[in-house]
Amino acid sequence: MDIDLALKNMPLEDKAGLLCGRSPFSIGGIECKGTDIPVLYIQDGGTGINFEQLFQDREEGETEGFSAEEIRRVITLFYRTGELTAHENILREKISRRLSEIKGNITSAPGCYPPGILLGATWDPVTVHEVSCALGMEAQAYKIGVLLGTPNCNLLRDPRNGRFFEGYSEDPCLAKTLAPQMCKGVEEAGVASNAKHFACNNLEINRVGIDEKIPERAVEELYLPAFRECAAVSSVFMSAYVSVNGTRCTENKWLLKDVLRDRWGFDGTVVTDWAACTGRAGDSLAAGNDLFMPGPWDHTDIVAAVKDGRVSEERLDEACRRILRLIDRHSCVPLPDGFTDEEYVARGRKAAYDAACEGIVMLINRDGVFPLKQGGTVVFFGKSKGRFRDFGTGSAQVFTDRTTVLPEELSGIPGFENIAFDDFEAFKNGAVAVVIETMDSSEGADRADLKLSDETRGILSKLIQERGTGKICLILNTPGPVELGSFKDGLDGLFAVFYPGMEGGRAMADILTGRVNPSGHLPVTFPERLEDVPSFLCYPDSFSCVYGEGIYAGYRGYQKRRIAPAFPFGFGLSYSRFEILAMTSKVNGGKVCNTVTVKNAGPVPGKVTLQIYSHKVSPDVPRPENELRTFGKFFLEAGETRQAEMSFDASELMYYDADRGSFLLEEGAYELRCGLSCEEFAASSVIRIDDGSPELKCGISWPCGRIAQHPEFEEALKKDVEAHGDSYGLYLSDCIYMPFKPVSEIYPGASGYEGFIAACNGFVHE
């Protein structure tokens, strides 16, 4: 496409129309003098193809004569034809023919992949990248040019969030390491990835219009890092529904221009979340949004904004150029020539299976109940009959016939054929009871609480009371943490599978039987009770939400308040037993290099996830007790000892100073702690930073209240003040009434206090 020619020949009305979408999930498709602009399809696909959106945009009249309820049923039950009426099957056949035109020789159903929380539990960038490549393949098959939600970068702040399952972690280090890998695989397929929702879309309650009051330090340290890393590799950013500190994200110049464009250098397209632009489109365009969805969006105000000067023609052309470039690059990226349906199925299956195996977390394994012993009986309890919910509802939903079912997969493994359902007698006589707690979760609504369902509570109560020689295993097929209460002590086994995707049943069967050694670790904290969550008292009851916990979200808040969780961030068990034997650290050229000696002291090979946290010794400003800085997942044979190398930039030790508007590095000692969770440290080392930020150096930038804690500095200051003819009384007064005022503000000529400065230069941070 000749973008320059297209822009030259486009009148103002057409340019404004280009920014406003063609249909709910497509853009372009415009005839322009000298240049035909093709259609680009955009839709959700972070866990696979969203059929509802696909059909909504491409049905082309097939649904005429069918009710809205019939259309919904056909979409939802597309691969369960026996549940459709004869009339509904007529529509299904029409849609099937349309799908064949789109997919060509790909005849199988779409794949369903694990969402962000399970990918976060893998603690493995390679696995996330593999899933991303599979999602790129899915988009190619369905002729989709932009795959939304690849990734959802929002921090997992509060487990009540209806979209909690879509995010990667409560920790910015883990999230910012994994999220870009989701972008990379999609982009490698020639499909545009999309980082959303920018920014701080951490709850679903009142999400359209809610104003989030967030301390600037928390925004910079916690809520932006994952987006920052994705800005370098993603083609599309999505602005969020919410407002941050009084300004809608769709009109937030600080977010969209100052941070995203100017600070991070993002040169891709910014699209609104669907119907997120609730103000004037022209104002949103001026702030930094390029594309308004869903189409067709009313472009009247964009035209008016250009005419009345709210938006320059240069800004309009800039947005058009980005959209045309997006269409040109991604409008139709087909599968490779000769790519078969068999390859499509195999690649998707492997990616989904590997992710589930790497991400399923074993939380309890009392007395080594697992792996299961051959020849025993497994009894599944509950109405789910051992079937997992593979996905969450809303944008992330995927309808497919390619799911795997745990009891079927388990019975297919030699030695584990003895499967029963709701058989209390078999359980009491030594069988292993498996109870699956399945919860739905969806965008648009938050969870009311973290409690187990009444059905599961009733089943567990009866099993615990009548256990005999039976063993009890609970599998959490949930969007995030749940409260276990007193049931926790009655369980012999506990697994978190979250929403495991289409291969969850097979992966879980292989883990239960020991064919796969579990290696997932929690990307979030599991609280004992909802009231322990750091954001508990900050849940909104209106269209305003104060992030009162500040920088103490997630495990940072539990540790600061000395509240013990049910299971800490980073926790996960294995059939192996890993021992961290030693750790050394050094600062080298701006890098903090760490060597950890670890041993697999268990009887089977396995993967260990080593986590290194920093702890500032004697901090000058409030800091979390521990902050994740780097991690690595390593395979060890049984009995093997190896040295694992992990490093991070020394700049990661900085904190954000809201008064100065920048990240600053404190001098002094930092203890680095290595463990298998944020509460389970086995080795540590200490490094020193002797060349911190100039703004923090002892001297005239220090507040007078802090100088007063050092009599030798105070005496030197007094001599210089009096020698320069200044009033020492100003200092004494400010020490009482304004101890936060820096010496340089009290005395504008303080840069000439040579004796005081010389005395301060000898200060050594602990």
Which tens digit of pLDDT belongs to each residue from 377-389? Answer: 999 999 999 999 9
- Residue 501 has a pLDDT of 98
How far is Cα 374 from Cα 460, in angstroms, rounded to an integer?
A: 24
Asked whether residue 116 carries a pLDDT value surpassing 80, the answer given is yes
Give me the sign of the Cα torsion angle 524, 530, 534, 536: positive
Asked whether residue 270 carries a pLDDT value surpassing 90, the answer given is yes
281 and 292 Cβ atoms separated by less than 8 Å: yes
- Residue 52 has a pLDDT of 86
697-724 tens-digit pLDDT: 999 999 999 999 999 999 999 999 999 9
What number of other Cβ atoms are within 10 A of residue 262's Cβ?
Answer: 9
447-486 tens-digit pLDDT: 999 999 999 999 999 999 999 999 999 999 999 999 999 9
Rounded to an integer, the average pLDDT of 434-452 is 96
212 band by pLDDT with thresholds 50, 70 and 90: very high
The 3-state secondary structure of 144-175 reads CCEEECECECCCCCCCCCCCHHHCCCCCHHHH
How far is Cα 410 from Cα 516, in angstroms, rounded to an integer?
A: 13
251 band by pLDDT with thresholds 50, 70 and 90: very high
How far is Cα 430 from Cα 313, in angstroms, rounded to an integer?
A: 76
What percent of the chain shows pLDDT beyond 70? Answer: 100
559 and 677 Cβ atoms separated by less than 8 Å: no
The 3-state secondary structure of 396-423 reads CCCCCCCCCCHHHHHHCCCCCCCEEECC
Rounded to an integer, the average pLDDT of 78-102 is 93
Residue 14 burial (C-beta neighbours within 10 Å; 0-12, 13-18, 19+): middle
In residues, how long is the chain? 766
526 and 564 Cβ atoms separated by less than 8 Å: no
DSSP letter for each residue of 508-534: HHHHHTTSS------SS-B-SSGGGST
- Residue 33 has a pLDDT of 79
766 band by pLDDT with thresholds 50, 70 and 90: confident
> In Å, what is the CA distance from 314 to each residue of 33, 307, 311, 474?
21, 13, 8, 59
* CA 107 remoteness from chain centre: 32
Rounded to an integer, the average pLDDT of 312-328 is 97
Average per-residue pLDDT in the chain?
Answer: 96
Least confident of 58-72, 110-124, 145-159, 447-461: 58-72
Better-scored residue on pLDDT, 270 or 334? 270
Report residue 185 as tokens: 């695989």
- Residue 563 has a pLDDT of 98
476 and 498 Cβ atoms separated by less than 8 Å: yes
Q: Which residue type sits at 93?
A: E
* CA 135 remoteness from chain centre: 17
518 and 499 Cβ atoms separated by less than 8 Å: no
483 and 451 Cβ atoms separated by less than 8 Å: yes
Crossing angle between the packed helical segments 86-103 and 68-76, to the nearest 10 degrees: 60
> In Å, what is the CA distance from 278 to each residue of 201, 204, 257, 295, 339?
16, 17, 19, 14, 43
**What are the chain's domains?**
1-28+201-329 (3.20.20.300), 51-109 (no CATH), 355-560 (3.40.50.1700), 578-692 (2.60.40.10), 697-761 (no CATH)
Crossing angle between the packed helical segments 125-141 and 172-188, to the nearest 10 degrees: 40
pTM for this prediction: 0.96
